[in-house]
């Protein structure tokens, strides 16, 4: 039987990412997860040193601070700094192993990320520990990699679709606008914009 928000096993969504910076699409995805998947909360997990990505622009401290500001007034949202507190490259499996036992965990990701999921380090173990909650366009079908589909059919992995209309906002576009002095009022919360301006983030001189 599926647990509800008022009783039973806690259902926690995990939204990992660089959040460089956090923008409205991240928040909308988390809201959709809470409302449609009946989650108790969504934890935002800023990455420390993602092993599959080049060096991030803002520091871990700044990215965590921006996440905290963006979610401050959002019921059910929580900042989890587990990855930026850990030394070395960030691996999802290490994060999952460090989480408290008891709740049922859902890993939020987009349909584009699902396509590459089987390239993640120890992806089979990850799939056995969480339900993959995948954001896809309404009325579209999930495009599940063959290797992952085999685990699902074997009963060692679970996947659930989350109808979600993609937004044009992206961190890459936001950084580009900021470096050019363009407005990002439609993409970021006022508190995050103020933080970026105060700490002079994403200016041309900050870029690698």
Which comes out higher in pLDDT, residue 23 or 167? 23
Task: Reply yes or no on whether the pLDDT at 145 is more than 90.
Answer: yes
Cβ neighbours of residue 33 under 8 Å, at least 6 residues apart? 13, 15, 39, 42, 106, 108, 133, 162
| Domain at 11-166, CATH from 3.40.50.1820, 3.20.20.70, 3.40.50.620, 3.30.470.30 | 3.40.50.620
* pLDDT-based confidence at residue 6 (cuts at 50, 70, 90): low
pTM: 0.92
Q: Where are the domains of the chain?
A: 11-166
Task: Look over the chain and give the mean of its residue pLDDT values, rounded to a whole number.
Answer: 91
State the number of CA atoms in the 13 A half-sphere of 187 facing the CB.
Answer: 22
Checking if the pLDDT of 160 tops 60, the result is: yes
pLDDT digit string (tens) for 96-138? 999 999 999 999 999 999 999 999 999 999 999 999 999 999 8
φ and ψ at residue 106, rounded to 5 degrees: -125, 125
Cβ burial of 3 (10 Å; 0-12, 13-18, 19+) is: middle
In DSSP terms, which residues pair with 50 in a beta bridge? 90
The edge-to-edge listing of strands for the beta sheet with 158-163 is 77-79, 41-46, 11-17, 104-110, 131-136, 158-163
pLDDT of amino acid 7 = 62
Which of 2-6, 129-133, 162-166 comes out lowest in average pLDDT? 2-6
């Amino acid at each position: 039987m599926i647990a509800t928000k008022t009783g039973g096993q806690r259902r926690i969504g995990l939204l990992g990412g660089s959040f460089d910076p956090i923008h409205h699409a991240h928040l909308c995805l988390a809201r959709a997860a809470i409302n449609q998947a009946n989650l108790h909360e969504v934890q935002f997990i800023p990455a420390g040193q993602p092993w599959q990505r080049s060096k991030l622009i803002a520091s871990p401290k700044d990215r965590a601070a921006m996440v905290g500001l963006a979610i401050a007034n959002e019921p059910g949202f929580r900042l989890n700094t587990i990855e930026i507190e850990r030394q070395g490259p960030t691996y999802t499996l290490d994060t999952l192993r460090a989480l408290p036992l008891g709740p049922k965990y859902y890993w939020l990701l987009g349909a584009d990320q699902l396509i590459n999921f089987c390239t993640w380090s120890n992806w089979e173990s990850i799939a056995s520990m969480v339900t993959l909650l995948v954001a896809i366009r309404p009325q579209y079908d999930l495009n599940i990699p063959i290797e992952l589909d085999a685990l699902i059919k074997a009963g060692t992995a679970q996947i659930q679709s989350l109808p979600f209309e993609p937004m044009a906002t992206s961190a890459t576009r936001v950084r580009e606008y900021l470096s050019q002095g363009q407005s990002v009022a439609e993409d970021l919360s006022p508190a995050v914009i103020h933080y970026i301006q105060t700490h002079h983030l994403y200016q041309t001189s900050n870029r690698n």
